[in-house]
Structure 1
Amino acid sequence: MFIDSHCHIDFPDLAAQADEIMAAMAANGVSHALCVSVNLPHWPNVIAMAERYPHIFASVGVHPDYEDEVEPTVEQLVELARHPKVIAIGETGLDYYRLEGDLDWQRERFRVHIRAARQCGKPLIIHTRSASEDTLRIMAEERASEASGVMHCFTESQAVADAAIAQNFYISFSGIVTFKKAEELKEVARTIPLERMLIETDSPYLAPMPFRGKQNQPAYVRHVAEHIADLRGIGVDEVARATTANFARLFKLEGQLQGIGSLT
C-alpha cells in the first residue's frame, strides 16, 4: 500500500469529488493521505475532511505564499494541533520565487511554526522554493531538528537534501520526479537513503506522468512510487513498504499503521 504524504483534497474542485477520490485511492492501493493546511480561515475544511474519512489525516499551518493573513501565533497553532487527527504543523517555510520585496514577515512566520512544532511535539511540513539557504539556516537556528519533519515536494539539490536529512528531516518526492527534464531531481531520488524518503501528490497540482497537465489526486501517488522504484532499480513493493514505514515513524502513527505497506 502507498500513502500520499501531502495533498489538498479540501480544495473545492477535489472536495466536490471526495467520495470518487476515496474510491480511486482504494483501487490504486493508497491506504492513507495527509490533507495539508495552507491558511487558518480554510482550516475547518481540512479538519472536516479528516473527520469525515478515517484514513485521512490533517495538518495546521499557514503557507508562506499567503501574504495578507492574520499571522498565527505559537499558542494558536499548538491549540489547533491538539485535535487527534492533526499530525503535523504546516505547511510552512519560505518562498522567494513567487514573492519579492521585504520578506521578513515570511521568515518570522516560519520561526513561529517551528516553535509551535517543538512545543506540541508534532513534525513540520516545510515548503521551500528559491530560498534553500535561508530555510536551512532558520531550521538550524530554531532547532527544527527537535521536531523533525519533511521537505515536501522536494526540487532542490543533493546538497540541500543532505543538509535537511542531517537536521533530522525526510525528503518527499512529488510527480515532478517523473518529468523528463527533472534529471537532477531524479538523481537525488536515486541516492538518498530509502529510510528518509516519502512520496506525495501535492494534489490538485503536479500530476505525474502519464497524467501531467491534468488535475492530480492521491490515487496517482503510486506512479511516483513506480518511477522511483525504476530509478533505483528496486521493486515498487520495496518503495511502498519503506515510504509507508517512514510516514508512520515520522508522524508517530506506527501503532495505527502497523502492517500496512506491502502490496502483496
Structure 2
Amino acid sequence: MTDTHVHLDDARYGEAERQEILDNLERDGLTAVINAACDLTSMRAGARLAERCSKVFFTVGCHPHDAKSYDDAFEREIVRLAKNPKAVAMGEIGLDYHYDLSERDVQKEVFSRQLSLARKLGLPVVLHTRDAWKDTLDILREEGSFPHGLLLHCFSGSAEIMKILSEKYDAYFAFGGAITFKNYGGAELVRTVGENRLLCETDCPYLTPEPFRGKVNRPAFVRYTLEKIAAIRGIAFSEAERITENNAARFFGLEKAV
C-alpha cells in the first residue's frame, strides 16, 4: 500500500509514537508514504523524516492557510529542498475559503506563483482546494498545462469538476478516510474515476477512517480506506492495492527517487 498524503511531523504525534510508526511501516504493509508540506517548518521536517526512513518521501510548498507567510525566502527554501531526490511534488498548495486563514487575494497570488515554480522545478502538483472551486479552476486555466502531473488531494468536488480536471489536465484523484463514513456522498466519484488516476491517502493524523474514527489517524489505517475503495468499485482488495500503488509510483516518480 502507498499512503499518498500524511503529516507525520504533526504535533499530535509524540516522538515515541512517530518513531514507532516509522519502524513499523513495512509490518503495516506500507511500501511508501508521502509527507505533505504546509509551511517552512513542516517542509523541513518532511525532509528530515525522509532521511530517517527509506519509505518516507516528502513534498515542498505552502498550504493556503499559510499563504500570508510566503515570500522570496520561503520560495528559495522550496528550491533548495526540491533538489533532494526524495522531494517528489509541490504541495499541498491551492485555495481554502472555508477557513480563510490567509486573505483570498494572497492565497490566489501564492497559488499561481507556486504553480509556476512547480513547472520550473519539474515537479507534479498536489492540490488542496476547499470551498474555492471557481477560483481554483480559473487559476489552473490561466496557468495552462501541468506536464508533470496534477493530483487532487482528498477530492470532494462534483462529477462535473472531476470531468473538467480529467479532460483538461489528466488529473489524479486521491480519496481518504471520509469515504468510510456513513454520510459520505461521493461513492459514485470513487466508482467512476479512471483506474489509472485513482489514489488512496490518510491525511493522518486527520480524517481517521471507520472503525477508528475519533482517534488519531496513522498510515496503517489507509488499509480501511482501500478496503472501501475496493468495495465501492467491486474489485478485490489486492487489485485496489495494485492499482493505487502503481498510480502513486507513476505520479510521484517513486521508482526514480532514492
Q: Aligning the two structures, in what range does the TM-score lie when normalised by the shorter sequence?
A: over 0.9
**Match in the other structure for 1:109:** 110
**Match in the other structure for 2:39:** 39
Shift in Å at residue 106 of structure 1?
0.1
How far, CA to CA, are the matches of 2:220 and 2:61 in structure 1?
24
**Match in the other structure for 2:3:** 4
**Match in the other structure for 1:170:** 172
User: What secondary structure does 1:231 align onto?
Assistant: helix
Residue correspondences, number: 255
Contact 1:150–1:171 under 8 Å retained in 2: yes
User: What secondary structure does 1:25 align onto?
Assistant: coil
How has the CA–CA distance of structure 1 residues 136 and 15 changed in structure 2, closer, same or farther, with 3 Å as cutoff? farther
Contact 1:172–1:198 under 8 Å retained in 2: yes
How far, CA to CA, are the matches of 1:102 and 1:7 in structure 2?
26
How far, CA to CA, are the matches of 1:28 and 1:52 in structure 2?
17
In the alignment, structure 1 segments of 5+ residues that lack a partner are 258-264
Instruction: Detail structure 1 runs of 4+ shifted over 6 Å in the superposition.
Output: none
How far, CA to CA, are the matches of 1:22 and 1:83 in structure 2?
20
**Match in the other structure for 1:261:** none
User: What secondary structure does 1:171 align onto?
Assistant: strand
In the alignment, structure 2 segments of 5+ residues that lack a partner are none
Whichever residue aligns with residue 214 of structure 2, its letter is: G
Question: Percent identity among equivalent residues?
Answer: 36
Shift in Å at residue 24 of structure 1?
4.3
Contact 2:126–2:153 under 8 Å retained in 1: yes
Deviates more, 1:33-42 or 1:9-18: 9-18
Shift in Å at residue 190 of structure 1?
0.8
Whichever residue aligns with residue 38 of structure 1, its letter is: C
How has the CA–CA distance of structure 1 residues 47 and 104 changed in structure 2, closer, same or farther, with 3 Å as cutoff? same
Contact 1:172–1:197 under 8 Å retained in 2: yes
Whichever residue aligns with residue 179 of structure 2, its letter is: V
Contact 1:114–1:144 under 8 Å retained in 2: no
Shift in Å at residue 74 of structure 1?
5.1
Task: With the length of structure 1 as denominator, give the TM-score of the two structures.
Answer: 0.90
Whichever residue aligns with residue 227 of structure 1, its letter is: K
Whichever residue aligns with residue 95 of structure 1, its letter is: D
User: What secondary structure does 2:129 align onto?
Assistant: strand
How far, CA to CA, are the matches of 1:87 and 1:222 in structure 2?
23
How far, CA to CA, are the matches of 1:173 and 1:229 in structure 2?
12
How far, CA to CA, are the matches of 2:63 and 2:81 in structure 1?
16
